[in-house]
Structure 1
């Protein structure tokens, strides 16, 4: 290629570069190593309010706030080393004295002898980004406040509701004692008591959710025989005709934990095992020890859980069945169970296959005398 053609090609490249700079939506400015402005594109005019004629030959400090003038020394120092600065967030001054947040990208400019003679600066207005970020932060804080108020309301409402429900259950039990066991009234009262008990359990769960959210779920540790505890809980589940409860542990296993709370987890496991195996089958409970932990599992032969649900099964208000299912529940029992086990320093897990039943298990640290 001859020198004439090379010259034309260089001119075309220069023209193309000039067109890109001129049409850019970002402010593009070049300056010498002493900070003197040597180019200023139309986007810079729109952003800072100065025309090209007004700024050429003037120092870049024209658009730098006084409290940020030290940044120029740092920038020139980096450029002089041949380094590039990307996404340097700062503020700059407009002609009318407004400070605008911008993101700067700076690159060194080289001459034909590969010497650094200045810097090219691309400035992007990030006012909208910052405003969006601030709005999101404000919205997040408002949601946190509303969420706390919601938890406080649920805690208060459930606390207030438990008193009349407890009284109602007491009155129903008194009435039941005074009617014949063979009559229809006894059966009706028995159903009423069962429903009141369900309502009381639901309120207890809601109250626990609120305690968890507010950081008020307390644990009361004691030494007890977990095998004996399981046997006691099982004795309350003897009325299920379709299910056979299998528990083979006989030897004592002492654990240091909150007995009432572990009972709550166990009852939740049992209820789920029975609820999600409507056709019946075995529900097997196992307890075993490892060097540092005590483990408990509940295995059923029920409908199982899809893989897509397993990761979320312990989330608050999450249910592994759709809303049209006739299986009741709010999806908070396993969430509370997880919190109880985690606060014991233990782990909780589920293994399941659709149509092949589920295994719910937990482990807690074994603390001996």
Structure 2
């Protein structure tokens, strides 16, 4: 198409040249030839004018489309747009800016300046940036806070560009975006980040976060202090740099376990990383999850537990002392009493036998109390580990009652079993449940009135089975019942000869809680008390944090 236009123009100029030559050089040339050439030239001229008119129409449509597009952007853009002349007087602005300036859309801001809308300080700032655009003939960007007429402060991100006309700068085009919300959010994030860093730096243990490749993301000041590396240098390094020992493979395995299970991992490790002597640390590794519950990192807390470990050792020594210095001589006294009661050393009269029997009973009670103390200690230092098995629940209760029947006989009490179970089979830790049952029945015998019945009831409650012991004993106020399952709490109505460690009910509650069950205690003013528990018919172990000790 372009080539055809070029060829036609060349042909037009050749014919025009020939016509001139013939007219000037050959004035005697025939008029018909001259007119013929003139007609051809006229046709070419008309055709050229028509083409130019078509081109003008196309360009007019093109520029109109561009003008409509620019006008649409100008009128509908959510950002503020304005134009100024070279004297920094407004030419026009879009409706959004008029709304911000509280100007009606029909009104004009032509010939007005920034001093007509803003304070002198704000106007001077805006004009200084406008002048930079005109002086440097370049694009300028800046942020500015503007005080609105309603007293509100807005923050704008501004972009200024020169308006060029005939190679000369004739004005300034400005585009302003309201970033108040974004800037306020940034400020809140910075404040929250500072608060978080303050918390992290003041907690009494080391804490750091790492990504899935094991690189440190951040840490608190205690990590910096203990390893002697600044936070800036530590970020991005493998977390193994925090430890002196060559344990990279072990750390990797622990991280893989946390990533795989999405569960916290607690490790107790003895290390000399931060001190000259080995110290015990508790390391807790927890997953960092995003909104899609995908793991994106691991947070690690390293806590010094050396004092707790020393206290545990002291408690172990104390319990060993109790076992040796109290239980051993107590057993020896019971054996000696048995020898005397068997009249191995001679005949005893009734008074002597009664005194020796009371002494033996006191020593047996002391032995049992020492055993309970040791059991409580063991349950404190190590979690109760259940070994579930399926067994006959009612048969276990009958066996327990039989073992305690002689204890009830001394107070002329009757142990009565009442069962409404349709299915006797239960899956739980048989030995641990028996311990809880013994504690509750023995408690009922010890604190129950003489010459009374003690009723043991077995019932089905949905998917659970219940065990209740009802006896006749002194009324226990509600405020005392609320704390009766706590450690070292005893029956407030107990007499001196019924002294107790207050650990039986405490241990029973720990066993039942471990079975995902519930303990209960009730006391009525008619001197009836009920102690019991409910456990699932089939024990299901709940997921919990895993704990490893090295």
Q: TM-score, normalised by structure 2?
A: 0.39
Matches within 5 A, 1:42-57: none
State the distance in 2 between where 1:79 and 1:323 align. Answer: 69
Matches within 5 A, 1:107-118: none
Contact 1:300 1:359 in 2 (8 A): yes
State the distance in 1 between where 2:496 and 2:349 align. Answer: 35
Matches within 5 A, 1:157-306: 157-160=321-324, 161-178=326-343, 179-180=346-347, 182-215=349-382, 217=384, 219=386, 223-224=391-392, 225-241=395-411, 243-249=413-419, 253-278=424-449, 281-290=452-461, 292-306=463-477
Q: 1:186 to 1:258 in 2, by over 3 A?
A: farther
**Deviation for aligned residue 1:202:** 0.8
CA deviation digits over 1:67-124, x for unaligned, max 9?
xxxxxxxxxx88753446289366xxxxxxxxxxx759xxxxxxxxxxxxxxxxxxxx
Structure 1, unaligned stretches of length 5 or more? Answer: 1-31, 35-76, 91-101, 105-125
Contact 1:261 1:340 in 2 (8 A): yes
Moved segments of 4+, more than 6 Å: 137-140, 322-326
Q: 1:307 to 1:327 in 2, by over 3 A?
A: same
Question: Could you tell me which residue of structure 2 aligns to residue 348 of structure 1?
Answer: 519
Contact 1:299 1:360 in 2 (8 A): yes
State the distance in 1 between where 2:434 and 2:502 align. Answer: 18
**SS of the residue 1:198 aligns to:** helix
State the distance in 2 between where 1:146 and 1:280 align. Answer: 50
State the distance in 2 between where 1:268 and 1:278 align. Answer: 17
Contact 2:388 2:429 in 1 (8 A): yes
State the distance in 1 between where 2:349 and 2:534 align. Answer: 46
Q: TM-score, normalised by structure 1?
A: 0.56
State the distance in 2 between where 1:199 and 1:229 align. Answer: 25
Contact 1:154 1:210 in 2 (8 A): no
State the distance in 2 between where 1:278 and 1:146 align. Answer: 46
State the distance in 2 between where 1:156 and 1:289 align. Answer: 43
State the distance in 1 between where 2:509 and 2:522 align. Answer: 15
Q: 1:88 to 1:293 in 2, by over 3 A?
A: same
**Deviation for aligned residue 1:143:** 6.7
Q: 1:240 to 1:326 in 2, by over 3 A?
A: closer
**SS of the residue 2:366 aligns to:** helix
**SS of the residue 2:369 aligns to:** helix
Contact 1:226 1:253 in 2 (8 A): no
Segment of structure 1 superposing worse, 257-266 or 138-147: 138-147
In the alignment, which of 448, 467, 485 is matched to residue 314 of structure 1?
Answer: 485
Q: Does 1:359 align with 2:530?
A: yes
Contact 2:373 2:501 in 1 (8 A): no
Q: Does 1:88 align with 2:191?
A: yes
Q: Does 1:332 align with 2:503?
A: yes
Superposition CA RMSD, Å: 4.4
Question: Could you tell me which residue of structure 2 aligns to residue 73 of structure 1?
Answer: none
Contact 2:523 2:530 in 1 (8 A): yes
**Deviation for aligned residue 1:355:** 5.5
Higher Cα radius of gyration:
2
State the distance in 1 between where 2:526 and 2:308 align. Answer: 40
Contact 1:307 1:353 in 2 (8 A): no
Contact 1:151 1:214 in 2 (8 A): no
Question: Could you tell me which residue of structure 2 aligns to residue 114 of structure 1?
Answer: none
**Deviation for aligned residue 1:206:** 0.8
Count of residues in correspondence between the two structures? 262
State the distance in 1 between where 2:424 and 2:349 align. Answer: 43
